[in-house]
Structure 1
């Protein structure tokens, strides 16, 4: 069972690294570049998803003090769903318009 949780740690670290690089530089994975219209939302969503996976594994390996299973279950699922919602919104919301060019004729 430990190798499954260890794989989750690796995936969580990759998601956190992807979120940080998206927030700092605007870089996205090549598979997401065409679909994402708001990179900052995507970065925050990736951070929440990665944090959810990492917290579950930190509780499993007893690195963090143990809390009740309800807190772990509902807290982890809330983080995961919030991250997935932000990732979905980053792809579904329309691209922001530049207000400098809104009043120019021909636009």
Structure 2
């Protein structure tokens, strides 16, 4: 069982590194470039998701101070779902503002 949690923590660490690099540079891996229209929002979502995986693994191994299991469960799930929501929001198409009249229409 410990190797499964360790693998999840490794994926979480990779997601945190990916999220930080996206937030700092705006770089996305080739697999996410087509879908993500807002790289910063995508990076923040990946960072929250990776943090959730790391925290839940740390709670499993007992490295964090003791808290009620409900607090650990719901806080980890809240981080995970908020990160996934931000990733989904980063893939919405951009809206164009129609504040100015197009000069070619006149």
State the shift of 1:37 in Å: 0.4
Structure 1 residue aligned with 2:94? 95
Cα–Cα, structure 1 residues 40 and 96, in superposed 2: closer, same or farther, change >3 Å?
A: farther
TM norm structure 1:
0.88
1:65 aligns with 2:32: no
Structure 1 residue aligned with 2:45? 45
TM norm structure 2:
0.89
Cα–Cα, structure 1 residues 66 and 87, in superposed 2: closer, same or farther, change >3 Å?
A: same
Aligned residues: 104
User: Could you report, residue by residue, the CA deviation over 1:31-71 in whole angstroms, capped at 9, with x for unpaired residues?
Assistant: 11001000011010001000100000111111111211100
The structure 1 segments of at least 4 consecutive aligned residues displaced by more than 3 Å after TM superposition are none
Which one has the largest radius of gyration?
2
The alignment yields a C-alpha RMSD, in angstroms, of 1.9
d(CA) in 1 for partners of 2:23 and 2:10?
20
Cα–Cα, structure 1 residues 56 and 45, in superposed 2: closer, same or farther, change >3 Å?
A: same
Structure 2 residue aligned with 1:74? 74
User: Please, which runs of 5 or more residues in structure 1 have no aligned partner?
Assistant: none
d(CA) in 2 for partners of 1:11 and 1:104?
48
